[in-house]
Amino acid sequence: MLPARPLLVAAAVFLLLLPVHVAIVAAQGFRGFSYLLNCGAASPTTDSRGLRWDPDGDYVSAGTPGVVSLSGLINPTLATLRTFPLRYGAKFCYELPVDRNRRYLIRPTFFYGALFASSSAPPPPVFDLIVDGTFWTAVNTTDDALAGAASSYEGVFPASGRNMSFCLGVNPDYTDARPFISALQVIQLDDSVYNATDFPTSAMGLIARTKFGSTGGIERYPNDSFDRYWQPFPDDKHAVSSTQNVTSADFWNLPPPDVFNTAFIAEQDAPLVLQWPPVPLQNDSYYVALYFADTLPDNQGPLTCI
């Protein structure tokens, strides 16, 4: 019997499929109608990657700009925020011109850590996110706020019209504090990215995007053209590194080549068992993309089954 090939799994993406009710200038470094908004800011700012973040005032008509007073804050987009009135049942919306029938990565960021550090500050609010009239998720930043960290949520949504609305919804069942937002990214994706999804009827919410075997930091722009986050997933027993040049342009989802620099490898004649993603999952529909590498020539054995 021919030996099974050692098989490497380099990276993976796990997204929840969400039902959708169909109802001007590109950000620097991105294509089409893309936006990097520094919420509550009065003027543009540039981050450590050289990306320009614009004030959000041109895209939202409600809310109050605010400043986070915290020394040593490295990320300039966390230094300001926009808060909204605690008006039960209200929605406060950003209206963004988009290219119709294109899909967009949406990532809002919320930083409440400095406010929560004050003994007089209320607990972080919990509120809804709504995209084009469709409920996306509930925002709960409590655990991150206790650690002084920011919270980000990521989804991919189709643009059914020439404008896309991104709204914060006040829910009286959740909160006694005002909803807020620190930053908002809306990035146009290539048509090939996640093209196996029926976007006229579905959207996607990120569960995990992982770079297996990596012990470094989060992989993102400029290595990832759409500023997707690739979280490291270390494992001393199975991790390997590679110096092979991998061209990812032929992959539909266009993963960054650097995610293939590390991987997990299965031992000879033994299965590779991963507890991934590291969160409990509900009974629902999911999109999973796994990226593999084969380490032996074609005549050295059959491909291991997954």
Residue 224 has which token pair? Answer: 């990832």
All domains of the chain in start order, with CATH:
7-15+207-300 (no CATH), 21-200 (2.60.120.430)
Q: Answer yes or no: is pLDDT of 189 > 90.
A: yes
**Residue 24: other Cβ atoms inside 10 A:** 7
Tokens standing for 61? 């008509």
Average the pLDDT over 211-240 and give the result.
91
Kindly write down the DSSP assignment for every residue of 25-38, as one continuous string: -PPTTS-SS-EEEE
> Where is average pLDDT lowest: 18-22, 280-284, 297-301?
18-22
Return the pLDDT at 20. 46
Of 282 and 92, the one with more pLDDT: 92
Asked whether the beta carbons of 146 and 112 are under 8 A apart, the reply is: no
Asked if pLDDT for residue 287 goes beyond 70, the answer is yes
Mean pLDDT of 76-98: 93
Nearest to 40 by CA among 184, 226, 223: 184
pLDDT at 243: 62
pLDDT, residue 8, reads 58
Q: Which pLDDT does position 1 carry in this prediction? A: 34
pLDDT bracket for residue 69 (50, 70, 90): confident
In order of 38, 99, 129, 271, 276, the CA distances from 305 in angstroms are: 47, 41, 40, 10, 18
pTM attached to this predicted model: 0.87
CA distance 18 to 49: 32
Higher pLDDT, 263 or 181: 181
Residue located via tokens 């709960």: 140
Most confident of 50-54, 74-78, 195-199, 236-240: 50-54
Residue 145 DSSP one-character state: H
**pLDDT: which is higher, 56 or 245:** 56
Distance in Å from the first CA to the final CA of the chain: 19
- What's the pLDDT tens digit per position in 126-164? 999 999 999 999 999 988 988 888 999 999 999 999 999
Here the tokens at position 56 are 């959000």
Q: Mean of the pLDDT values across residues 43-63?
A: 95
Residue in 172, 166, 113 with CA at minimum distance from that of residue 141: 113
Long-range contacts, stretch 240-249, CB < 8 angstroms, 24+ apart: 240/8, 240/213, 240/264, 240/265, 241/213, 242/8, 242/293, 244/293, 246/293
